[in-house]
Amino acid sequence: MRYIVEDCGVVVLSAGASSRMGRPKQLMKFNNKSLLQNTIGAALQTGIRPVIVVVGAHNDLVEKEISNTGIQVVRNLEWKEGMASSLRVGLAAAKKNNPDLDGIIFMVCDQPFVNSALISSLLNAQRETGKPLVACSYGDRLGTPALFHKSLFGELVQLKGDIGARAIIKKHEDLASVIKFPAGIIDIDTPEDWEALQNEKMKT
């Protein structure tokens, strides 16, 4: 079966408490922009709409970082549950914004090397292959950013707890089109991750 995404949205997941980092990692600066600003900028530059940003922990601080027009901010009041709650909130907001939505791209805000070309390539790959799922590959796994056709929305909203979209990606790897994103393996969860990123930047 061939699936076609005509009306796609983007959900940026930015509701976590950054407990392992010890401060809101969304707001940490890399290349003169916060990680959140970089992620939002990449989404906006694609022209894909709506762009939804899900906030939760530190919502007041995080919302101050979002000045872009074209962004819809939604608060996840159940953020302590974990990633699944933000997926549900973000998807619901995107569908409310566009009832004809038939695809969604989920992004996280701690992948510093994400860019608009990568995001656009997800949608292009979906339309070329007709696959219901397009995911990025890095290391030995598939993950975000990732695009889901509406046929998978039901499974996404059934997720519970601290389980993200990767669970659905892993379940349906045989249905996925894959975009290579080697730098996607770099994400920022701990002070050590941040220090390693700074050291890598100094080498380039």
Please give the domain boundaries of the chain with CATH numbers for all domains: 8-203 (3.90.550.10)
Spatial distance between the Cα atoms of 25 and 28, rounded to a whole number of angstroms: 5
Q: How far apart are CA 12 and CA 177, in angstroms?
A: 21
Two tokens, residue 69:
């027009």
Strand pairing report for 33-34 and 29-30 = antiparallel
> Quick one: which of 49, 30, 62 has its CA closest to 105?
49
Residue 151 has pLDDT above 80, yes or no: yes
Does this model's pTM top 0.85? My answer is yes
More confident residue, 199 or 24: 24
Taking the C-alpha atoms of residue 31 and residue 20, their distance in angstroms, rounded to an integer, is 22
What are the tens digits of pLDDT across the range 153-183?
999 999 999 889 999 999 999 999 999 999 9
Peptide linkage before 182 cis (omega within 30 of 0): no
Q: How remote is the C-alpha of 204 from its chain's centroid? A: 26
- What pLDDT, on the 0 to 100 scale, is given for residue 161? 93
CB atoms within 10 A of CB 24: 21
Strand ranges, E, within 2-157? 8-14, 29-30, 33-34, 51-55, 71-75, 103-108, 133-138, 141-149
Give the DSSP letter of residue 56.
B
